[in-house]
Amino acid sequence: MKKDYEINIEIPQEIKCILNGNLLESVKGNTKLVKKFVLNNLTMSVNGSEIIISCKSAGRKDVANANSYVAHIKNIFRGLNQKFVYEMEICNVHFPMTAKVEKNHVSIINFLGEKVARSAKILEDTEVKIEGNKITVSSVDVEKAGQTAANIEKATTVTNKDRRIFQDGIFITKKPEADL
């Protein structure tokens, strides 16, 4: 049986939210995050210090979408308060590989003795720091930070070799802790 469904999300005092159609703009100081939401049966509105997501005659999928949007909005608020940080580690067994940040990509040199450097794209508004064999990826947007870390890890995949022997690569060692 379908019922009316509504969720209220409290906006922190220092954050300002503006809703333009499907775009939610959240601003804190100089930092701005914009997220596009696909609102099929849902309606979203900003009233004072809260965001209201509601649906008339909501089904299971509508409730699931609304709860997903709540999680996205909470990640936006958390990112505006403190950056999401992924920690990675360079592991090399066979050949000494090095990594360098160059403009909008990370170059991985001498991976498994390859002559051509591999590269991984750094998404915009994401910061990558390399100190020794530790790599730190940070951003206010959890999706951009996670995708950049995944790009770096994916650039060092080993194919057609025994993974028990060829354990070289760059691996994510620590992800941001989830809010419960």
Instruction: Give yes or no: residues 99 and 170 share one domain.
Output: yes
Burial class of residue 160 (count of CB atoms within 10 Å of its CB; 0-12, 13-18, 19+): exposed
pLDDT higher than 70, residue 159: yes
Instruction: Give yes or no: residues 97 and 147 share one domain.
Output: yes
pLDDT higher than 80, residue 179: no
Number of structural domains found in the chain? 2
Full-model pTM: 0.89
Instruction: Give yes or no: residues 94 and 134 share one domain.
Output: yes
The Cβ of residue 133 has, within 10 Å, a number of other Cβ atoms equal to 14
Q: Which residues contact 141 (CB under 8 A, 6 or more apart)?
A: 33, 79, 84, 125, 126
Instruction: Give yes or no: residues 121 and 67 share one domain.
Output: no
Instruction: Give yes or no: residues 62 and 102 share one domain.
Output: no
**Is residue 70 assigned to a domain?**
yes
Pairing label, strands 84-91, 169-174: antiparallel
pLDDT in tens, 81-137: 999 999 999 999 888 999 999 999 999 999 999 999 999 999 999 999 999 999 999
Could you list the residue range(s) of the whole structural domain that residue 41 is in? 3-81
Report the CATH number at residue 9: 3.90.930.12
Instruction: Give yes or no: residues 124 and 93 share one domain.
Output: yes
**Is residue 179 assigned to a domain?**
no
Domain end point (choices 81, 105, 124): 81
